Each structure stands twice: as structure tokens, then as C-alpha cells.
């Protein structure tokens, strides 16, 4: 038997210091108070008819209510479906329907949003279908939650390692979001590996910026488990982030590649503001070597580059490059060795029964205790990627280097095939980031009548006013990239499209520019 929330009971007995802080409301909570509030909300859910195995979808912004509802769902044996308020009506309608949610937990404006969706669906049934008839809506009241700090403790629901506790929708970077079915046992592995990799302890102060709807929030839950102080940012803003680091003497940081990028370019003096940080996590997307190098030279803070997916609760089963190994990571996209109890292998992209040897590029497969049970409501896709012998086909392409470190090449779906030549956008970007004219760049494929596909690039320029930017980039590309990898078209953008502001959405660039780009001499 295992209910993952029992770490709260264990911590409540021995720790009286605050372990969770919401800076926007200046609120602090001890483990005992979290346990009480989670119990209070858990009781409310039970009174509203939620039973073991029922799906409850959380549609909130990062907030204490979010964290407490998440844990309350687990406490009573329900299945939590974490989402974000940034999702559109189409995405939310799909997730409610696909997960078969019995309840939606949201705030007052979220409840209005749902009502409007319902009305719209009734008035225009062809365009948009949504029925809330069998779904109850619960709006936790922050004032009422504050009164639950001493609520009697609710015993944890009796569940096994194999029982579902979550349906985690993938980010939708490459296509339709799929609901990965995660269990209490998966979470046990994730928390144990994250505590191990970050060496979280009670003296740590962890600043978390991942949206609660993304599986990256597991780092915050792991910090809680370790009895560290977990500070949750409602929304990432660089200056606020730096102020919080300074004020709370933060020791462990969640930073995604764009955050590490902005830190690398911060004004002089920032070194002093973040001097208490002993490690920073990067994950969810490639940390380009050029950015990593700049960050490393300026701050010398180890970057834990962690590789995993929603389907593996980040590094519940995955790999990580970490100190002291990270000092050798100055090669193309190494994400290190497998974490505890994880196995990694490279298989032929067309025949997954063929295992490739070191140095050979193929699809990355992972096996270990945090691999999800499959995709909810997608038996065919589940069968295709969750293999009977426990291996999970990630859809990422990479290879093992001579020291068995995993190196990522790209995502299978992002690969561009031009007249039979394979082009990996991340590899091309890795080189083009070194061009001084470039601030941010994304390479993507667009279809071409004779060549199949050709690479194009969307660029945010370091100096947008310079007229010769494109010429400079193309000259740089000609010098450093093989001819077939050079972007055939360069478009200027003010921002790159990203999921929730951080995960690059190459798919959106493809959709936007496909068929709309004129090519000369091709």
C-alpha cells in the first residue's frame, strides 16, 4: 500500500518550520498546516461525491489552492488532471471530455469561462461541443482555506503503487496533447530521484517557476518532501525572480532554457544577487550550448540538465547531467547518465527491436519505475510506444557517447527531410546561436514541391534595427553549416512561439509559414 501524500504525515511529525511560501500573498505554511488544509479540501471533495479513481481536473493559475487541491486529490485516491489557465476553450473541453472528469476545480473567473463555453457550445453545436452536465465545479475560497490550517487530519485513501493518481497531458509541442496515466508508484520514483539528483535537504530554499499544469512541478513537490522551503512563483518575471532569490537566499532554482538565457544576459552585478544558488535545473527543451557556456562563464553555477517527459515524470525515469559531470558537458546536448533505476537505449527509428550501439543515432527508449501506464483513451498510441517489455519509445532522437552519456539530436517529428537529407533543427540552431546577430532562433521545415521539405528559420535579432541581419546570418550559416542545413528562408519575428512562454512550438511555425514562403533558386 502506498499513498504518495504520506510524506506529508512523516514531515508534519518532525518539522515545524515553513516548507511552502506564496510570495504574492506573503503566506507561509508548515508541513502540518499543509496536511490539515489538504485534509480539509479532501473532505470537501468527498462530500461533493468524488470517489477513489474519479478524475478531478484542476483549472487554476499557480497558487496555494492549486498545490493543496492537487495533494487533496491524491489523498482521497482520486485522479488529478492538472491543467493551466492559459489553455483555450478547445483544449480544456478536450481534456475534460478525454479524461472523463467528474469535477473541475477552478477560480471565480474560471467558472465564468466554463459557463461561457457551455453557452457557446449550445448556440453553435457544429463548431464546438462541450457539455458540463455531468461535471461539478468547485471554486476553493482562499479565505476558507486559511481557516483549515488546523483541520483534523484525514487518513490517506488506501491505494497501491499501481493505482492511478494523475492524468498528465503532454505539452502538445508536436501534436495533440495526450494524457499520460501516472500512478502513486511512478511518483514515488520521481520524488526519490529528484531528491537524489538535487540533493534537496531541509536547509534548501527552492524557487519554482514551472506552471502547476506541467509535470516540471514535480521538482517543487520533491523539495516539499525533503522539507526544504518551496517558494512558488505565480508567474515568471525576471526582476521578481531575482528579488526572490536575493530576499530568501535561494539555494536551488528551477530555470528553463529561456530563463537561463535571460540570466546569461543580465546586467553586471547579477552575480552577487544570485550568489546563494548552488544549482539550477534546466529541462523541458534543449539548453543550447552557446547559452550554457555564457551562463557557466558568468556565474559558475552548475546546471543540472535533466531529460525526461510527462510520460516519465521528468527524471522519475530519465537522465541528468549533474555536478561534477556537468563540467564535461561542453559537447552537443549531453543530458548525462540515467538516474537511479532507469535504463536508456537507442533503437532503430524504423525497427524498435534493433538496438543500436554507441555513437549510432536513433530513437531514445527509456525503461524504469516512473514510466506511465499508457495514454488515457488512446489504446493504439499506447500500444505503439509503451512496449510490452517495459520500454517506452520517447519520440526523441539521440545517441550514447563514448562514456554512455545520452546526447539528444532532436525530436523525431521535428526532423526535416530535404531531398533525402536529414536535417535536425536543434543541431542547426545550436550552430546559429553563435552568430552575433541572433538573439533567439528556431529552425523548422516547410514543404517544397520538388525537395519535399526545406529548412527555414524564424529569428529574433539582437539588434532589430540592423538592415544586414539576414545577410550576416546566412554568411555565418554558409561558413559553419553543411549546405543542405542552411535555412532557405529567414523570417523576422518579435518573439518565438512557446507553450506557456517557454517550450518552443516549432509546429506553430510550420503551420504559419507552410505554403506561404516563396523560394528562389531551389
If the CB atoms of residues 279 and 396 are measured against ligand ATP, the closer one turns out to be: 396
**Contact characters 381-410, ligand ATP, x per CB under 6 A:** -------------xxx-----------x--
Q: With CB under 6 A as the contact rule, which of the stretches 119-127, 236-244, 269-277, 301-309 interacts with ligand ATP?
A: 301-309
Q: Residue 427 and residue 331: Cα distance in Å, rounded?
A: 12
Q: How many residues bind ligand ATP (CB under 6 A)?
A: 23
Burial (Cβ within 10 Å: 0-12, 13-18, ≥19) of residue 211: buried
Q: Residue 364 and residue 385: Cα distance in Å, rounded?
A: 11
Q: What is the DSSP string of 119-171?
A: HHHHH-TTT-----TT-EEE---HHHHHGGGGPPPPPPP---TTSEEEEEE--
If the CB atoms of residues 207 and 366 are measured against ligand ATP, the closer one turns out to be: 366
- Minimum distance, C-beta of residue 173 to ligand ATP, in the bound complex (Å): 3
* Element holding 474 (H helix, E strand): helix 469-480
Candidates 140, 285, 445, 487; binder of ligand ATP (CB under 6 A) is 285
Q: Are 398 and 408 in contact (CB under 8 A)?
A: yes
Candidates 3, 31, 84, 177; binder of ligand ATP (CB under 6 A) is 177
Decide: is 338 part of the binding site for ligand ATP (CB under 6 A).
no
Decide: is 317 part of the binding site for ligand ATP (CB under 6 A).
no
Q: With CB under 6 A as the contact rule, which of the stretches 48-56, 279-287, 292-300, 467-475 interacts with ligand ATP?
A: 279-287
Candidates 3, 63, 171, 470; binder of ligand ATP (CB under 6 A) is 171
Pairing assessment for the beta strands 79-84 and 55-60 based on DSSP bridges: parallel
If the CB atoms of residues 20 and 391 are measured against ligand ATP, the closer one turns out to be: 391
Q: How many CA atoms lie within 13 A of 324 on its CB side?
A: 0
- Minimum distance, C-beta of residue 178 to ligand ATP, in the bound complex (Å): 6
Candidates 172, 390, 452, 500; binder of ligand ATP (CB under 6 A) is 172
Decide: is 335 part of the binding site for ligand ATP (CB under 6 A).
yes
**Could you tell me the CA-to-CA distances from 366 to 68, 341, 429 in Å, in that order?**
31, 11, 26
Q: What is the torsion angle, in degrees rounded to the nearest 10, for the CA atoms of residue 495, residue 500, residue 503 and residue 507?
A: -70
The C-alpha cell of 512 is what?
504559419
If the CB atoms of residues 42 and 285 are measured against ligand ATP, the closer one turns out to be: 285
Q: What is the DSSP string of 82-121?
A: EEETTS-HHHHHHHHHHHT-SEEEE-HHHHHHHHHHHHHH
Q: Are 200 and 178 in contact (CB under 8 A)?
A: no
**Contact characters 87-116, ligand ATP, x per CB under 6 A:** ------------------------------
If the CB atoms of residues 317 and 394 are measured against ligand ATP, the closer one turns out to be: 394
Candidates 219, 307, 375, 391; binder of ligand ATP (CB under 6 A) is 307
- Minimum distance, C-beta of residue 503 to ligand ATP, in the bound complex (Å): 6
The C-alpha cell of 303 is what?
546546471
Q: Residue 280 and residue 162: Cα distance in Å, rounded?
A: 32
Decide: is 255 part of the binding site for ligand ATP (CB under 6 A).
no
Q: With CB under 6 A as the contact rule, which of the stretches 9-17, 93-101, 159-167, 303-311 interacts with ligand ATP?
A: 303-311
Residues in the chain: 522
Q: Residue 42 and residue 45: Cα distance in Å, rounded?
A: 5
Q: Residue 338 and residue 320: Cα distance in Å, rounded?
A: 7
- Minimum distance, C-beta of residue 172 to ligand ATP, in the bound complex (Å): 4
Pairing assessment for the beta strands 421-423 and 252-254 based on DSSP bridges: unpaired
Q: With CB under 6 A as the contact rule, which of the stretches 118-126, 290-298, 304-312, 378-386 interacts with ligand ATP?
A: 304-312
Candidates 170, 193, 251, 409; binder of ligand ATP (CB under 6 A) is 170
Pairing assessment for the beta strands 205-208 and 229-232 based on DSSP bridges: parallel
Decide: is 503 part of the binding site for ligand ATP (CB under 6 A).
yes
Other CB atoms within a 10 A radius of the CB of residue 27 amount to 15
Burial (Cβ within 10 Å: 0-12, 13-18, ≥19) of residue 318: buried
If the CB atoms of residues 5 and 254 are measured against ligand ATP, the closer one turns out to be: 254
- Chain residues binding ligand ATP by CB under 6 A are 170-175, 177, 283-286, 305-307, 309-310, 335, 394-396, 408, 411, 503
Amino acid at each position: 500500500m502506498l499513498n504518495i501524500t504520506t510524506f506529508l504525515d512523516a514531515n508534519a511529525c518532525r518539522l515545524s518550520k515553513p516548507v511552502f511560501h506564496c510570495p504574492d500573498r506573503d503566506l507561509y505554511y508548515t508541513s502540518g498546516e499543509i496536511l490539515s488544509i489538504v485534509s480539509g479540501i479532501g473532505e470537501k471533495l468527498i462530500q461533493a461525491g468524488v470517489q477513489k479513481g474519479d478524475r478531478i481536473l484542476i483549472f487554476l493559475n499557480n497558487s496555494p489552492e492549486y498545490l493543496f487541491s492537487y495533494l487533496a486529490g491524491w489523498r482521497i485516491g482520486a485522479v488529478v488532471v492538472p491543467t493551466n489557465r492559459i489553455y483555450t476553450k478547445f483544449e480544456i473541453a478536450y481534456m475534460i471530455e478525454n479524461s472523463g472528469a467528474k469535477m473541475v476545480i477552478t477560480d471565480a473567473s474560471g467558472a465564468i469561462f466554463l459557463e461561457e463555453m457551455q453557452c457557446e457550445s449550445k448556440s453553435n453545436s457544429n463548431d464546438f461541443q462541450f457539455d458540463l452536465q455531468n461535471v461539478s465545479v468547485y471554486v476553493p475560497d482562499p479565505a476558507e482555506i486559511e481557516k483549515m490550517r488546523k483541520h483534523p487530519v484525514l487518513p490517506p485513501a488506501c491505494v497501491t503503487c499501481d493505482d492511478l493518481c494523475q492524468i498528465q497531458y503532454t505539452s502538445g509541442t508536436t501534436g495533440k496533447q495526450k494524457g499520460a496515466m501516472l500512478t502513486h508508484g511512478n511518483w514515488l520514483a520521481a520524488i526519490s530521484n529528484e531528491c537524489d539528483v538535487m540533493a534537496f535537504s531541509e536547509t534548501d530554499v527552492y524557487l519554482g517557476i514551472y506552471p502547476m499544469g506541467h509535470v516540471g512541478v514535480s521538482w517543487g513537490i520533491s523539495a516539499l518532501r525533503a522539507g526544504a522551503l518551496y517558494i512558488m512563483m505565480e508567474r515568471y518575471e525576471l526582476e521578481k525572480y531575482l528579488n526572490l532569490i536575493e530576499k530568501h537566499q535561494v539555494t536551488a532554482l528551477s530555470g528553463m532554457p529561456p530563463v537561463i538565457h535571460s540570466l546569461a544576459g543580465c546586467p553586471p552585478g547579477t552575480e552577487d544577487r544570485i550568489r546563494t544558488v548552488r544549482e539550477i535545473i534546466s529541462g523541458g527543451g534543449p539548453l543550447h550550448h552557446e547559452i550554457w557556456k555564457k551562463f557557466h562563464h558568468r556565474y559558475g553555477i552548475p546546471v543540472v540538465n535533466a531529460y525526461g517527459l510527462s510520460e516519465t515524470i521528468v527524471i522519475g525515469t530519465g537522465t541528468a547531467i549533474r555536478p561534477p559531470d556537468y563540467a564535461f558537458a561542453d559537447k552537443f546536448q549531453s543530458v548525462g547518465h540515467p538516474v537511479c533505476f532507469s535504463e536508456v537505449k537507442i533503437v532503430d527509428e524504423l525497427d524498435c527491436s534493433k538496438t543500436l550501439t554507441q555513437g549510432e543515432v536513433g530513437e531514445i527508449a527509456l525503461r524504469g519505475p516512473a514510466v506511465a501506464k499508457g495514454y488515457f483513451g488512446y489504446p493504439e498510441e499506447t500500444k505503439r510506444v509503451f512496449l510490452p517489455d517495459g520500454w517506452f519509445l520517447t519520440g526523441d532522437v539521440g545517441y550514447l557517447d563514448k562514456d554512455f552519456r545520452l546526447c539528444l539530436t532532436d525530436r523525431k517529428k521535428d526532423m526535416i527531410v530535404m531531398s533525402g537529407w536529414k536535417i535536425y533543427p536543434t543541431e542547426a540552431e545550436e550552430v546559429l546561436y553563435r552568430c552575433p546577430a541572433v538573439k533567439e532562433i528556431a529552425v523548422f521545415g516547410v514543404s517544397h514541391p520538388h525537395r519535399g521539405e526545406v529548412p527555414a528559420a524564424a529569428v529574433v535579432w539582437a539588434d532589430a534595427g540592423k538592415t544586414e541581419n539576414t545577410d550576416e546570418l546566412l554568411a555565418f550559416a554558409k561558413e559553419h553549416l553543411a549546405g543542405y542545413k542552411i535555412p532557405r528562408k529567414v523570417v523576422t519575428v518579435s518573439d518565438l512561439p512557446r507553450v506557456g512562454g517557454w517550450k518552443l512550438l516549432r509546429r506553430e511555425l510550420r503551420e504559419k509559414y507552410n505554403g506561404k514562403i516563396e523560394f528562389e533558386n531551389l
